A and B are shown apart, each in its own frame.
Chain A
Amino acid sequence: MFDSLTPAELVQAMSNTLRKTVSSTGSAGSEFDQVQCLSGASIGRYLAQELAHARELTDWFRSRIDRALAEAASGGDDKDEDLCRDLARRIRPAVEINDMGDAIADFLRDLDNLPDTGQRRRAESLLHGCLRDLADRQVLMLLGEYPPEPDADDTDENPRN
């Protein structure tokens, strides 16, 4: 509710405590236990970034796909439009990123079974571009560098290049 400290901040604090504990106890614990604590600390650091930005990233991905579909539908022929409509219909009900992943994986698998046409290649390329940008942005998010520079939103360029 009206709580101070976000879940991300709390997870980060737990992570810091684990890391400090390993540093201060030194060789008191076994090597194995130390590695376990450091792994826990590392999970906390990345999880804090996810808690802070994952929703934002999912929303960005959805709008990235919507924009790409709109462009593809307006620039292609009727068959392009049909494919775009089919993809949009499948993705729309998905709320979480994993549900979107399911829908996209199914769609790409179905595309694989279609004849190798220009429409099919354009649809694949469209989705590959969206997935590439998502992969790049997830890395930036985990690095604590999210959101990237504003102009990266408006281009297909890899923001890490």
Chain B
Amino acid sequence: MENSVCASDTVKPALEAVRPHLPADTDLTSAEVRQLSGGWSRHSYVVTTVDRLEQKREFVVRVRPSGALLETDIGVEYRTYQMVSDEPIPVPRVYGYEDSADNPFGGPFFVMDKLDGWAPSTWQRDHRELLERNWATSRSIAEDLLDILHKIHSVPVERCEGVLPRLSYVDVVRYWLSIYEGMRLVRDPIVEEAFSWLLDRVPVDEHLGLVHGDYRIGNTLIADDRIAGVLDWELAFVGDTRFDLGYMSLEYLAGKFLRKGSRLLCGTAAREWFMAEYQRRRGVSVDDEVVRTYSVMGALMLITILLTGIRYFHDGSTSDIRMAWGRFAIPGLRQDLVHLMGW
């Protein structure tokens, strides 16, 4: 399944499939295709084109393969990128969208510009050190992470109508609970208690806005110590924006796998600074208890996604061994859950 479009005999049909979705002046005569290693629920390919003046241009083909980890609609993701690109939020420009799965990429896809930059992995020590050095000096990455989140949460809700679903707190909990119920191979009393804990803690108010849904430093691209783009909008929805704050606060996203990672939020900024600046810029007060609730929700979301991968591997829907490996990412998150709930 993996890499199939990169084999020499299949590159040409793959390029033909992409052609109608690229800018009209794109010259594919000597184009190349390669698969990127990341991506659990989307596969990403880079198409490199070279024109007559030897100018290189790169596009990303983002594919929702069959047996993808999340049943999220790639058409919604495409329209979200389109919508967000009209806002002062750095995202790659998107081009065409192919909704048929009958193509060499094996699923619906859309095409977007490939931005320059690197995606930090807070689970890698060298990346954590780079981020921590930035925080200790210019703080430019932390400032961007904050500024962009502020801009995402400031997108007028009316702009999202017809593009993204409106999900209440309980909708989100019930959604992930239903996925857990459908995907689990065994019962996990900690996870089940955590879902029950969430249903007992419905926040009394709602900070309604555009929620990225997977906002973390690893879903950004860094170039010249600035955030050049925010990626992976497949979990976006309209709901309580404090979800993003709780999710970002997870130790896991600061680089904890089993052992504690960075002391910084997302490995990028001191948590107290980030929360205080966020509240100042937004002109709102954010209750730490609500953030803690959303951290539990975020951890459950991640566990449920990992359980989905394990289920697919178990059922033979995928041979990608990373899905089985996800079994060892759960214990650290489960440990975070019990401590977040104050057990």
Contacts and interface: CB of A to CB of B under 8 A. Distances in A.
Contacts of A43: 321, 324-325, 327-328
Given A30-B3, A142-B328, A105 B192 contact: yes
Contact of A40 (B6, B36, B192, B321): B321
A110 to B, nearest CB: 12
Contacts of A127: 189
Interface string A122-144: 00000111011001101100110
A98 B188 CA distance: 8
Nearest to B332: A139
Q: Is the interface of B mostly helix, strand, loop or mixed?
A: helix
Contacts of A35: 37, 322
B117 to A, nearest CB: 18
B188 A46 contact: no
Contact of A138 (B196, B331, B337): B331
A132 B339 contact: yes
B37 A142 contact: no
Contacts of B322: 35-36, 39
**In which size bucket is the chain A interface?**
20 to 34
Interface string A104-120: 11001100100000000
Nearest to B200: A112
A99 to B, nearest CB: 9
B8 to A, nearest CB: 13
A136 B327 CA distance: 16
Given A32-B3, A40-B321, A139-B331, A132 B189 contact: no
A76 interface: no
Contacts of B334: 135, 138
A132 B192 contact: no
A32 B35 contact: yes
Contacts of B2: 32
B343 A131 contact: yes
Contacts of A135: 190, 331, 334-335, 337-338
Nearest to A35: B37
Contact of A42 (B36, B190, B328, B331): B328
A145 to B, nearest CB: 10
26 contacts: A30-B6, A31-B35, A31-B36, A32-B2, A32-B3, A32-B37, A34-B37, A36-B321, A36-B322, A39-B324, A39-B325, A42-B328, A98-B186, A101-B187, A101-B189, A109-B192, A128-B338, A131-B343, A135-B190, A135-B331, A135-B334, A135-B335, A138-B331, A139-B258, A139-B331, A142-B331
Given A131-B190, A135-B331, A160-B335, 10 more contacts: A31-B36, A42-B325, A42-B328, A43-B328, A105-B187, A108-B196, A128-B341, A132-B338, A136-B335, A143-B258
